[in-house]
């Protein structure tokens, strides 16, 4: 996860009530929320639905420990281990205090959890002077955290999750001031220690609507009559460890890209990971925008510029690169309320296509102006400039898609839907 890319907030205020599942006799736990602006596996389980409203970055609010302590954690499908800051500093004012929790238990480095269940960590765990399991986690934006693995009770309203493995972190570094507003991170990838894996749910889904609208996060299986059938693409499996391939990410196979009706003239080999594992395509809720490796990005940029010539005015400033990786920017009159018609950009996968349209293609940069003009930047960036050897599908381009992560069947499904309407139909509209 690249924390510097997270600019939207899904702030969950947890108050719950039960409704009967549409498809089974099991009950569904629904957790509605109120949004607030912040600056800057074999046994079926009842679905657990969580509404959210996004604005600045993606977090979930829950309680941890006995007695419970309220924490706010970034939700990230690109990470495995969930963790909390456990040492208060000026950079981490929001922390979990394990000393006052009766259910907290540190994990020794001799335990099976430490020795075998951490094999997918990018940095191997170690044994600290107290013979406790010590983990160091590093992220693409050069931020990092480290501390001990432990067992603790997590509570999502009245759903108790005892004995959850997490990281109790007492050191770290970050250049992102937004990190000070959260207590930690919820890992949601396919690894054995991710929250969804430890909960034992075979799948989860979410639906992200446009800015300042409601959405929903759902754990478990449920039939929704108003939801279109999902189209699925298989997850890419990699049994052999490779240095640049994340085996527990939600990796799909990008096969091609269209701008309008024009398929970019790129060989499919451009989208296939090489012998080092570099070049996988990941679906990541912890990254805002979408990033393509150099050859694909250059071809897309050139074709988009060709099809929008005379429609958009290029910024033409080689020194202006949004978030360090997005160098295609435009000018539009500050008085303009809507953007001109733009050609859709379609990402093509086996079995399904994801079409990015309209305002999702250009992002208005707050405070960035040139005279009377406002600066907008193309919301697909260059992974090479980001320093990441992968294609990343960020949550900005997942808006108004029902995104289903089916762990049991190793696939990702999606269907176009109005996520604001979905929240209303689930009784979560606020």
Catalytic residue among 141, 284, 327, 406: 284
Residue in 231, 246, 326, 332 with CA at minimum distance from that of residue 283: 246
Contact predicate 206/219, CB 8 Å: no
- Please pick, among 76, 179, 246, 327, the residue that the annotation labels catalytic: 76
Active site residue 284: yes
Query: Token pair 């478990």 is at which residue?
Result: 220
The answer to whether the beta carbons of residues 283 and 393 sit under 8 Å apart is yes
The rounded distance, in Å, linking the Cα atoms of 212 and 210 is: 6
Cα(91)–Cα(72) distance, integer angstroms? 15
Report helix, strand or coil for 410.
Answer: coil
Question: Could you tell me which of 72, 76, 356 has the C-alpha nearest to residue 210?
Answer: 356
The total number of residues written for the chain in this structure: 430
| Residue 76 among the catalytic residues | yes
DSSP per-residue string spanning 316-337: --TT--BTTTB--EEEEETT--
CA distances to 117, 194, 243 from 121, rounded to whole Å, are 9, 11, 12
- How many Cβ atoms are within 10 Å of 387's Cβ, its own excluded? 12
Number of other CB atoms surrounding residue 90 within 10 Å: 6
- Single out the residue of 234, 266, 267 nearest to residue 250, CA to CA: 234
Q: 338-361 in b/e burial notation, b at 16+ Cβ within 10 A?
A: ebeebbebbbbbeebebebeeebb
- On the CB side of 199, how many CA atoms lie within 13 Å of its CA? 27
Q: Contact 212/55 with Cβ under 8 angstroms?
A: yes
H/E segment holding residue 300: helix 294-308
- Tokens, residue 368: 């960035």
Which two tokens mark 404? Answer: 């289903």
Q: How far is Cα 294 from Cα 252, in angstroms, rounded to an integer? A: 19
Just list the catalytic residues.
Answer: 76, 284
């Amino acid at each position: 996860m690249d924390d510097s890319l997270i600019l939207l907030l899904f702030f969950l205020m947890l108050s719950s009530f039960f409704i009967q599942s549409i498809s089974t006799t099991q009950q569904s736990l629904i957790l509605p929320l109120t949004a607030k602006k912040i600056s800057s596996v074999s046994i079926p389980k009842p679905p657990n639905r969580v509404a959210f409203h996004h604005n600045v970055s993606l977090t979930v609010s829950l309680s941890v420990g006995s007695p419970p302590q309220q924490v706010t954690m970034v939700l990230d499908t690109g990470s495995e281990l969930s963790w909390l800051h456990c040492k208060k500093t000026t950079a981490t004012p929001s922390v979990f205090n394990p000393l006052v929790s009766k259910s907290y238990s540190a994990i020794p480095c001799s335990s099976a959890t430490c020795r075998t269940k951490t094999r997918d960590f990018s940095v191997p765990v170690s044994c600290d002077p107290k013979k406790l399991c010590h983990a160091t986690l590093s992220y693409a934006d050069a931020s990092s955290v480290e501390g001990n693995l432990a067992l603790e009770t997590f509570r999502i309203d009245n759903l108790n999750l005892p004995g959850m493995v997490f990281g109790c972190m007492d050191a770290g570094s970050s250049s992102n001031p937004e990190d000070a507003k959260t207590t930690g991170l919820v890992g949601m990838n396919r690894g054995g220690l991710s929250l969804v894996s430890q909960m034992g749910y075979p799948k989860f889904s979410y639906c992200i609507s446009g800015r300042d609208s409601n959405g929903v996060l759902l754990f478990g299986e449920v039939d929704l009559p108003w939801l279109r059938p999902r189209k699925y693409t298989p997850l890419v499996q990699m049994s052999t460890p490779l240095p640049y391939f994340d085996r527990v990410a939600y990796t799909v196979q990008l096969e091609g890209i269209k701008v309008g009706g024009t398929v970019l003239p790129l060989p499919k080999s451009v989208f296939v990971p090489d012998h080092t594992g570099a070049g996988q395509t990941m679906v990541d809720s912890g990254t805002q925008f979408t990033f393509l490796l150099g050859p694909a990005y250059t071809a897309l940029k050139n074709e988009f510029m060709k099809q929008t010539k005379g429609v958009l005015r290029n910024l033409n400033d080689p020194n202006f690169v949004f978030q360090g990786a997005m160098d295609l920017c435009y000018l539009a009159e500050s008085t303009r309320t809507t953007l001109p018609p733009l050609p859709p950009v379609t990402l093509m996968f086996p079995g399904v296509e994801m079409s990015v349209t309209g305002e999702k293609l250009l992002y208005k940069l707050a405070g960035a102006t040139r005279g009377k003009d406002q600066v907008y930047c193309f919301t697909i960036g260059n992974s090479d400039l980001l320093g990441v050897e992968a294609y990343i599908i960020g949550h900005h381009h997942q808006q108004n898609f029902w995104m289903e992560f089916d762990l049991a069947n190793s696939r990702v499904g999606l269907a176009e839907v109005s996520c604001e309407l979905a929240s209303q139909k689930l009784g979560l509209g606020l």
